[in-house]
Amino acid sequence: MKLIIVGGVAGGASAAARARRLSEEAEILLIERGPDVSFANCGLPYYIGGEIVEREKLLVTTPERLRTRFKLDVRTRSSVEAIDRTAKKIRVRDLASRREYEENYDKLILAPGAAPLRPPIPGIDLPGIFTLRNLQDVDRIKERVDQGVKQAVVVGAGFIGLELVENFVKRGIATTVVELQDQVLPPFDKEMTTPIVETLLAKGVKVLLGQSADGFEEAPDGVIVRLKSGQRLPAHLVILGVGVRPENKLAVEAGLEVGPRGGIRVNEHLQTSDPNIYAVGDAIEVKDIVSGDPTQVPLAGPANRQGRIAADNIFGRAVRYRGTQGTAIVGVFDRTAAMTGASEKALRRANRPFRKVYIHPTHHAGYYPGAEAMTLKLLFDPTTGRVLGAQAVGGAGVDKRIDVLAVAIQAGMTVFDLEEMELAYSPQYGSAKDPVNMAGFVAGGLMRGDHPQTDWEAVSVMADKPFLLDVRTPLEYANGHIEGAINIPVDELRNQLADMPKDRPVVTYCQVGQRGYLATRILMQTGFKVSNLGGGYKTYQMFGGEVVNETPAGSPQPSSQGCRVEDRPLTIPAKEPVR
Amino acid sequence: MKLIIVGGVAGGASAAARARRLSEEAEILLIERGPDVSFANCGLPYYIGGEIVEREKLLVTTPERLRTRFKLDVRTRSSVEAIDRTAKKIRVRDLASRREYEENYDKLILAPGAAPLRPPIPGIDLPGIFTLRNLQDVDRIKERVDQGVKQAVVVGAGFIGLELVENFVKRGIATTVVELQDQVLPPFDKEMTTPIVETLLAKGVKVLLGQSADGFEEAPDGVIVRLKSGQRLPAHLVILGVGVRPENKLAVEAGLEVGPRGGIRVNEHLQTSDPNIYAVGDAIEVKDIVSGDPTQVPLAGPANRQGRIAADNIFGRAVRYRGTQGTAIVGVFDRTAAMTGASEKALRRANRPFRKVYIHPTHHAGYYPGAEAMTLKLLFDPTTGRVLGAQAVGGAGVDKRIDVLAVAIQAGMTVFDLEEMELAYSPQYGSAKDPVNMAGFVAGGLMRGDHPQTDWEAVSVMADKPFLLDVRTPLEYANGHIEGAINIPVDELRNQLADMPKDRPVVTYCQVGQRGYLATRILMQTGFKVSNLGGGYKTYQMFGGEVVNETPAGSPQPSSQGCRVEDRPLTIPAKEPVR
């Protein structure tokens, strides 16, 4: 068996090591265009920021190590130029000597990865404009930063974009992030990104949403980024983080099938349309395990597992890749945002019915010092209760809850299963009713009809204008409430039922939903047509948290209360008489 | 409906609040012997230590809050003296006025909790000897500590015992812990507690294992704890943390069924042998969901959920309590130990077949600063691969992995499912191959026969004395190895196969198991009868980590390398010629 693997980073290196473990006899070539194999691409932004100090830390392994330990024929700085599928051979170009030669194969694994997009706009090739994919990129960017950069523009507010923003700020660089969409972190639902935007603003980052660059101009010590809006942003350093595209040229030229977005098509054994050629990693199209649809998810974890599985199949084990659920996480300063499974917008795009709940717990028992706040959003099937997706944003403990929910999705669990989860509790680590249990309780109650819920988006368009009931304390109400809401604290509600309208729908809310839930139960049982506002006032604020598309220097920044509330001055009445 | 709930802490208070949410009309009495309801019992040790500063933080809610918010008839300092099941009434004693009166009920929920054991040994009632259950206990202990305590003895090295030890040390108290069993944290398997013992010793705690107190004597400013061994420990403060027993007196006197260990028997709806009486919390016997056997697990999370479920059933919802899997966690200084499902010793006791793997990963990517070490032990069914239990000990991230594995157990997942888990990865949070994936890979490989594994307990008793092969570097080998092992670094192994014996079983090992795995694969494929030592040298060390039963003051303490290795001076040969 002669196996050739094209690409030596996550998926390729995993495939090679696995192949050797499965066969001492096989001839295994690992061909990599760059000088490095298996480097820590997810660590690159932190090397620029100085969190990771030694460059060697980024090298997970070396060609030499792979040669001695795994008896691999590793050829770096070698580019595979073409595949002759009929003859089962490839043409390799040695980039140093420019020599070309052929190698035949029994099986081939393509692990070429994905390349950062460089949109064809004027000036894109000016010096000072970078993308970030590998160690050579990071060396160039770090060199520039080390030389002294005062202003940077990051185009694209995705995961890598925001990681770079954080690291630039830590290096003292005034940073602007420009994003075409009207939110940061596009895979997330917009309201869940509100706390991330607040953090960026609090750290002095200029956040320009719904904007895009349409040109770059040379400037004395850098570049001018020209936006479609006409705005011109001077920068000593520009990063393009606007997405990646599968490196499919080799596959396409060899006549292998690719999907509409360019991902190399594979079956569940990761075999391409040519049974002798497998493909893994960021270059392939995979199945989204929630929707069942094809998708492209460039993530390190799945790439590693795919490499392993491709090798398994080649060496006679019929192992299946179950698909990808898109579990992802990003740290932005002291906040964490993470998600797994389907987002609300993906479900809407697919016209798939769903319900959702929001909770705002702390990451461990509130009575123990250091509890950090988070918001957790759970999406589930309205008929079966099956968990479809989850997103969380906050401080510590966000990663844990998303991991727990990732497993729930993998297992096909329902919100009722979440109610029963027995998670580790001691006050430093969690709560007797963990956030995941709480999300299950709220969603389970909704499924059972215990507490009808109305989402904010629905309240704002209700034909039958509801009686908005704020059941928080007068102080909380005075500090900000939804326009038109009447305040009756939950503890006084039972005594004031006579004053409430029975001919109009009542929508009740509190800060996070819990007192609103009790109020809903009281009102439901006493003849009112009532529902609870999903996730309470805090969720309402996250929806309201629209970012000013431009924050002129020196203008006041939105507070952590969310912008919409601040934008339109609130009527803060004294406690109103209830009719 | 008139519902009476006996006991107002975790399970009782949850039941009461849930009952009110389900019915505005029901008459609900909550009767509690102490002055407080729903306090944070898991926080008590940290109030003594000063981590939790304000006493009010320990009050999750107050009787007054329960009255106004949930319209409950809360009666504190009231003891239920008897149940007349035929007449469906109880006799209540008001502890302040000493007045007794009766209350009839339609349904009754017993949530009396469990009381700390006070073994009947001489001197047990001397002043200065405390147990810790409620706020009154904590007030007494804290008062004593605040007065100035120099020496404390904690009898019992369970969860609460060790939490108290930590908090005493933080208050500057020289603390000794005495434990009857030969390990701390008896629910865990012994080897997994080695790092906890090392931490205790490093913090100056005196750890006396396999010892018990057989008497207490009065001393001028405290107590002398007399051990069975004859040793006498002077102490200004003694805590008894030797376990709890269900408060079943009321139930037993009313003729309700109890289990052999005293837990009140309930069905899956949490109904006792009297269908009008339910029971929840630490006082009941529950089903162990892994073994299916009855057990008693005094934990806050399950108590809360049981309270909710009992109320559900009373108000017409046939909700089932699925049982308890014993997920538990404890912090001991900077270490965390957590477990879920069955332990190895529980499986052995039940004669249930199992296999196990150990891994020693870091909690996030090693290339990102701050990665903390952990050991993860996974127990699984040798036929189906189903996960039966897991234990972890280390620093950060232990809680996350045990929660993930708790869900895997709940879902009936196998080790093959662990291989596929898609968990959140970014270098600050995890690894592309998360510890849970890694445990799945090792266990899955074992199930598939890819790498036979021999556990250390088996190596030491192998009839056919194995050829012990240490595949680490010469430096690692020189720093400590298993007696009789021969060193061939894995990278040189392929060149030295001719020198290895084919007529004897080979057991290979490295530091944590990974290089040993590759060595096993190489040797398996080249005709050797080989197995990998489970968890490598590090696991061997944890097994060797027997604690000196007594550490005389000033004597050298075992290093973090584990004691057995240190106890018998190692022969550290230069690299031996391989025959």
| CB-based contact B52 A303, cutoff 8 Å | no
Q: List residues bridging with A380 in a β-sheet.
A: A355, A387
Q: Locate the chain B residue with the closest alpha carbon to A333.
A: B428
Is A352 inside a domain boundary? yes
Q: Locate the chain B residue with the closest alpha carbon to A397.
A: B400
Give B476's DSSP letter. Answer: H
Cα separations in angstroms, A519 against A283, A358, A497, B103: 52, 17, 11, 29
Q: What is the pLDDT of residue B60?
A: 86
Q: What is the pLDDT of residue B297?
A: 87
B509/B538 same-domain check = yes
B9/B58 same-domain check = yes
Q: How far is A324 from chain B (nearest CA, A)?
A: 8
Final residue of a structural domain among B222, B242, B262: B242
Instruction: Please state the three-class secondary structure of B489-551 as a single string.
Output: CHHHHHHHHHHCCCCCCEEEECCCCHHHHHHHHHHHCCCCCEEEECCHHHHHHHHHCCCCCCC
| CB-based contact B365 A433, cutoff 8 Å | no
Query: From CA B579, how far away is CA B371, in angstroms rounded?
Result: 40
Q: How many CA atoms lie within 13 A of A407 on its CB side?
A: 32
Q: How far is A325 from chain B (nearest CA, A)?
A: 7
Q: In chain A, what residues touch B340 (CB-CB under 8 Å)?
A: 422, 424
Query: From CA A168, how far away is CA A141, in angstroms rounded?
Result: 11
Residue A566 has pLDDT above 70, yes or no: no
Is A408 inside a domain boundary? yes
B171/B208 same-domain check = yes
Q: Locate the chain A residue with the closest alpha carbon to B471.
A: A69
CATH number at residue B535: 3.40.250.10
Query: From CA B496, how far away is CA B489, in angstroms rounded?
Result: 10
| CB-based contact A43 B367, cutoff 8 Å | yes
| CB-based contact B299 A425, cutoff 8 Å | yes
The interface pTM score, or ipTM, of the predicted complex is 0.92
Q: Which of A415, A402, A407 is nearest to A375 (CA)?
A: A402
Q: Which residues of B460-471 are buried (b: 16+ CB within 10 A; e: fewer)?
A: eeeeeebbbbbb
| CB-based contact B399 A328, cutoff 8 Å | no
| CB-based contact A368 B46, cutoff 8 Å | yes
| CB-based contact A43 B437, cutoff 8 Å | no
Cα separations in angstroms, B429 against A192, B323, B426: 19, 32, 6
A412/A353 same-domain check = yes
Query: From CA A134, how far away is CA A41, in angstroms rounded?
Result: 6
Q: What is the pLDDT of residues B125-150, one digit of tens each?
A: 999 999 999 999 999 999 999 999 99
Instruction: Please state the three-class secondary structure of B148-203 as a single string.
Output: HCCEEEEECCCHHHHHHHHHHHHCCCEEEEEECCCCCCCCCCHHHHHHHHHHHHHC
Q: In chain A, what residues touch B421 (CB-CB under 8 Å)?
A: 406-407, 410
Q: How far is B57 from chain A (nearest CA, A)?
A: 5
Is A572 inside a domain boundary? no
Range list of H helices, B283-379: 300-314, 344-349
Q: In chain A, what residues touch B430 (CB-CB under 8 Å)?
A: 329, 399, 403
A488/A422 same-domain check = no
Q: Any residues with CB less than 8 A from the CB of A11 and at least 6 apart, and which?
A: A111, A113, A280, A281, A282, A303, A304, A306, A307, A310
| CB-based contact A329 B526, cutoff 8 Å | no
Q: Any residues with CB less than 8 A from the CB of B452 and at least 6 apart, and which?
A: B446, B520, B524, B530, B531, B532
Q: How far is A452 from chain B (nearest CA, A)?
A: 14
Q: Can you read off the two tokens belonging to residue A348?
A: 């809407």
Confidence of residue A577 (pLDDT cuts 50, 70, 90): very low
A340/A370 same-domain check = yes
**Residue whose entry in the numeric block shows the structure tokens 């009050």:** B59
Is A326 inside a domain boundary? no
Q: Any residues with CB less than 8 A from the CB of A298 and at least 6 apart, and which?
A: A114, A244, A281, A282
Residue A360 has pLDDT above 60, yes or no: yes
Residues A429-444 have a mean pLDDT of 96
Q: What is the pLDDT of residue B564?
A: 25
| CB-based contact A367 B429, cutoff 8 Å | no
| CB-based contact A422 B324, cutoff 8 Å | yes
Residue A558 has pLDDT above 90, yes or no: no
Going residue by residue through chain B, which has 579 residues, state the pLDDT in tens, using 9 for 90 and above: 999 999 999 899 999 999 999 999 999 999 999 999 988 989 999 999 999 999 999 998 899 999 999 999 999 999 999 999 999 999 999 999 999 999 999 999 999 999 999 999 999 999 999 999 999 999 999 999 999 999 999 999 999 999 999 999 999 999 999 999 999 999 999 999 999 999 999 999 999 999 999 999 999 889 999 999 999 999 999 999 999 999 999 999 999 999 999 999 999 999 999 999 999 999 999 999 988 899 998 888 899 999 999 999 999 999 999 999 999 999 999 999 999 999 999 999 999 999 999 999 999 999 999 999 999 999 999 999 999 999 999 999 999 999 999 999 999 999 999 999 999 999 999 999 999 999 999 999 999 999 999 998 888 788 778 999 999 999 999 999 998 999 999 999 999 999 899 999 999 999 999 999 999 999 999 999 999 999 999 999 999 833 323 333 333 333 332 222 222 222 223 333 333
A141/A230 same-domain check = yes
B228/B279 same-domain check = no
Is B256 inside a domain boundary? yes
**Residue whose entry in the numeric block shows the structure tokens 């075992």:** B558
Q: How far is B424 from chain A (nearest CA, A)?
A: 5
Mutation site for A-interface testing, chosen from B69, B362, B367 by largest number of A Cβ within 10 Å: B367
Determine whether A569 is exposed, middle or buried from the number of CB atoms within 10 Å of its CB (0-12, 13-18, 19+): exposed
Hey, what's the torsion of the CAs at B451, B457, B463, B469, to 10 degrees?
Answer: 50
Q: What is the pLDDT of residues A319-331, one digit of tens each?
A: 999 999 999 999 9
Residue A573 has pLDDT above 50, yes or no: no
Is B271 inside a domain boundary? yes
Q: What is the pLDDT of residue B566?
A: 25
Determine whether B307 is exposed, middle or buried from the number of CB atoms within 10 Å of its CB (0-12, 13-18, 19+): buried
Residue A497 has pLDDT above 90, yes or no: yes
CB pairs under 8 A between A and B: 230
Q: What is the pLDDT of residue B465?
A: 86
Cα separations in angstroms, A332 against A268, A345, A429, A550, B364: 35, 22, 22, 20, 17
| CB-based contact B411 A413, cutoff 8 Å | yes
Q: Which of B120, B141, B145 is nearest to B131 (CA)?
A: B141
Is A319 inside a domain boundary? no
Q: Can you read off the two tokens belonging to residue A427?
A: 């006050």
Query: From CA A176, how far away is CA A209, in angstroms rounded?
Result: 11
Query: From CA B250, how far away is CA B264, in angstroms rounded?
Result: 10
Q: What is the pLDDT of residue A551?
A: 37
**Residue whose entry in the numeric block shows the structure tokens 């009790």:** A518
Instruction: Count the domains in chain B.
Output: 4
Residue A341 has pLDDT above 70, yes or no: yes
CATH number at residue B64: 3.50.50.60
Q: Locate the chain A residue with the closest alpha carbon to B14.
A: A433
Q: In chain A, what residues touch B68 (CB-CB under 8 Å)?
A: 491
Q: Which helix (H) or strand (E) holds B108?
A: strand B107-110
Q: Can you read off the two tokens belonging to residue B462?
A: 């192998």
| CB-based contact B304 A433, cutoff 8 Å | yes
Model confidence pTM above 0.80: yes
Q: In chain A, what residues touch B330 (CB-CB under 8 Å)?
A: 426
Confidence of residue A297 (pLDDT cuts 50, 70, 90): confident
Confidence of residue A571 (pLDDT cuts 50, 70, 90): very low
Q: List residues bridging with A209 in a β-sheet.
A: A179
Residue A103 amino acid letter: E
How many other CB atoms sit within 10 Å of the CB of residue B366?
Answer: 15
| CB-based contact B521 A404, cutoff 8 Å | no
Q: How far is A429 from chain B (nearest CA, A)?
A: 7
B156/B56 same-domain check = no
From A1, A42, A95, A421, active-site residue: A42
**Residue whose entry in the numeric block shows the structure tokens 């909690």:** B363
Query: From CA A325, how far away is CA B104, in angstroms rounded?
Result: 55
| Contact present, B578 and B499 (Cβ < 8 Å) | yes
Is B122 inside a domain boundary? no
Domain enclosing residue B39, as ranges? 2-114+245-314
Active site residues of B: 42
Q: Can you read off the two tokens belonging to residue B4?
A: 């009476």
Q: Which of B130, B115, B114, B135 is nearest to B58 (CA)?
A: B135
Q: Name which of B24, B58, B425 is nearest A367 (Cβ-Cβ).
A: B58
Q: In chain B, what residues touch A413 (CB-CB under 8 Å)?
A: 407, 411
Q: What is the pLDDT of residue A115?
A: 94
Q: What is the pLDDT of residues A268-279, one digit of tens each?
A: 999 999 999 999
A136/A237 same-domain check = yes
Q: Can you read off the two tokens belonging to residue A160?
A: 């890598």
Q: Which helix (H) or strand (E) holds B140?
A: helix B135-148
Residue A516 amino acid letter: G
B208/B253 same-domain check = no
Give B61's DSSP letter. Answer: S
Residues A486-508 have a mean pLDDT of 94
Final residue of a structural domain among B402, B430, B447: B447
A237/A249 same-domain check = no
Final residue of a structural domain among A420, A447, A474: A447
Q: Locate the chain A residue with the closest alpha carbon to B367.
A: A57
Q: What is the pLDDT of residues A33-73, one digit of tens each?
A: 999 998 898 999 999 999 999 999 999 889 999 999 999 99
How many other CB atoms sit within 10 Å of the CB of residue A249?
Answer: 13
| Contact present, A393 and A187 (Cβ < 8 Å) | no
Q: Name which of B365, B400, B450 is nearest A40 (Cβ-Cβ).
A: B365
Q: Which helix (H) or strand (E) holds A47?
A: helix A44-49
Q: What is the pLDDT of residue A465?
A: 86
In chain A, the percentage of residues whose pLDDT exceeds 90 is 88
Q: In chain B, what residues touch A328 (CB-CB under 8 Å)?
A: 424, 426
Q: In chain B, what residues touch A340 (CB-CB under 8 Å)?
A: 422, 424
Q: Which of B219, B295, B307 is nearest to B263 (CA)?
A: B295
Q: How far is A403 from chain B (nearest CA, A)?
A: 5
Q: What is the pLDDT of residues A197-224, one digit of tens each?
A: 999 999 999 999 999 999 999 998 899 9
